[in-house]
């Protein structure tokens, strides 16, 4: 008599960039549970991407509402699905609570930071561990090994509508609205844009509508710069990253997506954020304690290194 497929839940409610940083873990879990039913619990904004990836049999949406009714709805969902094992990749206070919501049981196997988890992943300095290493440590007890870099071959789109030349580079000068301290000064991005243009590489500025002013400031210094703010879908951003000469960006979601796709990418960090969370086959972390100590020449040199070149 054959065993029934296991019912597996993966929890990842993180922001846009965190979703792409978790891709290696998603893929490794999918491989390990090839014959099982794998469900993802994620944010409504990320659910369409999760479905597009083809890594999950079902995608559930959690708006992270803090009301009692919302928590009770999550409890009903978890109990109704009768999961055999949960990989809590979010591993924060909210999702620790989801474990407690299953009282009085029965509980599935649970990998995460929740007290009482069957496979606890609590250790000193956990949040300071590079994100891939964190997932490697969490999944090791199950014999699951994430790849070195994610496979985002599913994330692509036609970019012909943007009219870009063969040689173009992506600049991501923005950050989440609440974290302006993560932004390398826009004048430095303008200098990078001008240096790229001198090489015959067209700079294309990526961001949301609230970052149009940054694109304008860059264009004031470098008229060759193309403003793509508020013009790209996520698949189109993947398509741009797949074809770009290179990219420079702050510690923000679009930069991490671009790096994860495989574009040669320099991520500019100060001590405003932890310079350990970026992944991709050709990504280079350029970190100094203070943005004042990062000049454009150093970033261009880092981008050449990311591309494996000495000054192309």
Same-domain status, 196 and 253: yes
Sequence-distant (6+) residues with CB within 8 A of 165 are 202
Residue 310, pLDDT above cutoff 60 = no
What's the pLDDT tens digit per position in 151-207? 899 999 999 999 999 999 999 999 988 899 999 999 999 999 999 999 999 999 999
Residue 309: the pLDDT is 65
Q: What is the mean pLDDT of residues 51-57?
A: 97
Q: Which residue has the higher pLDDT, 2 or 42?
A: 42
205 assigned to some structural domain: yes
Angle, alpha carbons 110-279-148 (nearest 5°): 70
Predicted confidence at residue 31, as pLDDT, reads: 97
The CATH number of residue 16's host domain is 3.40.50.2000
Q: What is the pLDDT of residue 101?
A: 95
- 144/4: higher pLDDT: 144
Same domain, yes or no: 164 and 304: yes
Final residue in a domain of this structure, among 81, 108, 142: 142
Integer Cα distance of 155 and 241 in angstroms: 10
Q: Which domain holds residue 200?
A: 160-309
Peptide bond into 16 cis (omega under 30): no
Residue 290 lies in a domain: yes
| 173 and 300 both lie in a single domain | yes
pLDDT at 243: 97
Q: Which residues of 195-216 are buried (b: 16+ CB within 10 A; e: fewer)?
A: bbbeeebbbbbbbeeebeebbe
Tokens read off for 104: 């009085």
**Domain end (from 112, 142, 172):** 142
> Are residues 59 and 95 part of one domain?
yes
Q: Is residue 153 part of a domain?
A: no
**What predicted TM-score, i.e. pTM, was given to this entire model?**
0.86
| Any domain includes 51 | yes
Residue 309's contacts (CB-CB under 8 Å, 6 or more residues apart) are none
Q: Could you report the per-residue pLDDT of 212-269, keeping only the tens digit for each?
A: 999 999 999 999 999 999 999 999 999 999 999 999 999 999 999 999 999 999 999 9
- CA–CA gap between residue 6 and residue 22 (Å, rounded): 22
Q: Are residues 42 and 105 in the same domain?
A: yes
Q: Please provide the average confidence, as pLDDT, over all residues in the chain.
A: 93
pLDDT digits (tens, 9 = 90+) for 111-133: 999 999 999 999 998 888 888 89
* Rounded Cα–Cα distance for residues 28 and 139 (Å): 9
Identify whether residues 195 and 134 lie together within a single domain: no
Q: What is the pLDDT of residue 176?
A: 85
Q: Which residues contact 94 (CB under 8 A, 6 or more apart)?
A: 13, 64
164 and 305 in a single domain? The answer is yes
Choice between 32 and 132, residue whose per-residue pLDDT is larger: 32
Same structural domain for residues 11 and 131?
yes
pLDDT score of 311: 41
Question: Is residue 152 situated within a structural domain?
Answer: no
Say how many domains are in the chain: 2
What is the reported pLDDT for 273? 85
Please state the rounded mean pLDDT for residues 60-82. 95
């Amino acid at each position: 008599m054959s065993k029934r497929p296991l019912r597996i839940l993966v929890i990842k409610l993180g922001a846009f960039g965190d979703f792409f940083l978790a891709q290696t873990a998603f893929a490794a879990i999918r491989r390990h549970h090839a014959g099982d039913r794998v469900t993802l619990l994620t944010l409504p904004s990320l659910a369409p991407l999760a479905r597009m990836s083809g890594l999950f049999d079902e995608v559930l949406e959690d708006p992270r509402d803090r009301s009692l009714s919302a928590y009770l709805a999550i409890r009903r969902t978890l109990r109704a699905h009768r999961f055999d094992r949960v990989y809590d990749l979010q591993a924060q206070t909210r999702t620790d609570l989801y474990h407690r919501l299953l009282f009085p049981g029965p509980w599935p196997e649970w990998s995460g930071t929740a007290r009482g988890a069957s496979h606890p992943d609590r250790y000193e300095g956990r949040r300071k561990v590079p994100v891939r290493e964190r997932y490697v440590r969490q999944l090791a007890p199950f014999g699951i090994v994430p790849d070195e870099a994610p496979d985002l071959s599913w994330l692509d789109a036609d970019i012909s509508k943007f009219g870009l030349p063969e040689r173009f580079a992506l600049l991501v000068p923005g950050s989440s609205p609440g974290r302006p301290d993560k932004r390398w000064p826009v004048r430095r991005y303008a200098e990078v844009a001008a240096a790229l243009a001198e090489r015959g590489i067209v700079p294309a500025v990526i961001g949301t509508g609230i970052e149009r002013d940054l694109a304008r400031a860059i264009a004031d210094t470098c008229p060759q710069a193309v403003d793509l703010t508020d013009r790209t879908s996520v698949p189109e951003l993947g398509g741009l990253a797949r074809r770009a000469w290179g990219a420079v960006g702050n510690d923000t979601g679009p930069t991490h997506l671009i790096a994860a796709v495989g574009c040669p990418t320099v991520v500019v960090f100060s001590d405003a954020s932890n310079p350990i969370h970026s992944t991709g086959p050709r990504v280079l972390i350029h970190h100094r304690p203070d943005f004042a100590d990062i000049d454009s020449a150093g970033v261009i040199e880092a981008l050449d290194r990311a591309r494996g070149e000495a000054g192309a």
